[in-house]
Amino acid sequence: MPGSHFHIDRLREQLQHEIAAVIAREMRDPRIPSVVTVTQVKLATDTRNATVFVSIFGDEKVKADALAALNAGAAYIQRLVSGRITVKHFPHLVFKLDVSIEHSQHINELLKEISDDLEQPSQPD
């Protein structure tokens, strides 16, 4: 059903935008740093559950604490966002850490090292 996919895609985009706005402007938990990016929202086919992937700037402790705070505040975030988006059944939110940005940075560093190694002239034995 093409209409259903359009509805789910549109809902996913709206959720991503509104959840990011709530985290940035309305969450007062000191464990949540100022740099939190909602990178993706995955909806279940029945739209009753949503996994919200976030990228958090900081060390592992900062990331773990922020993720715990977001999951603890999920009901509050759901309540605020449900007032802004009209759906029959608002999804239950679960926050997970998106490590794809760190992973791509690591790959870029490895590629740079390889490139640097290739550019250096080889030393004769």
- Give the count of domains, the chain: 1
Q: Any idea what the CATH number is for the domain that residue 28 is in?
A: 3.30.300.20
Residue 47 lies in domain: 2-99
Structure tokens at 108: 């870029």
User: Which pLDDT does position 123 carry in this prediction?
Assistant: 61
The helix or strand, by DSSP H or E, that contains position 72, with its residue range, turns out to be: helix 60-72
Arithmetic mean of pLDDT, 20-30: 95
Q: What single-letter amino acid sits at 14?
A: Q
Q: Does 122 fall in a domain?
A: no
Tell me the CA distances in angstroms from 62 to 65, 103, 118, 125, one per residue in order: 5, 18, 37, 48
Mean pLDDT score of the chain: 89
pLDDT in tens, 50-100: 999 999 988 899 999 999 999 999 999 999 999 999 888 899 999 999 987
User: Residue 115 above 60 pLDDT?
Assistant: yes
Interatomic CA distance for residues 91 and 85, integer angstroms: 11
Among candidate residues 47, 56, 58, 118, the one with its CA nearest the CA of residue 86? 47
More confident residue, 103 or 17: 17
Arithmetic mean of pLDDT, 37-49: 93
Q: Does 30 fall in a domain?
A: yes
Q: Does 111 fall in a domain?
A: no
Q: Does 83 fall in a domain?
A: yes
**Whether 56 contacts 35, CB under 8 Å:** yes
pLDDT in tens, 1-11: 455 678 889 99
Q: Does 22 fall in a domain?
A: yes
Three-state secondary-structure class, residue 85: coil
Q: Does 47 fall in a domain?
A: yes
User: Residue 125 above 60 pLDDT?
Assistant: no
Q: Does 120 fall in a domain?
A: no
**pTM of the predicted protein model:** 0.79
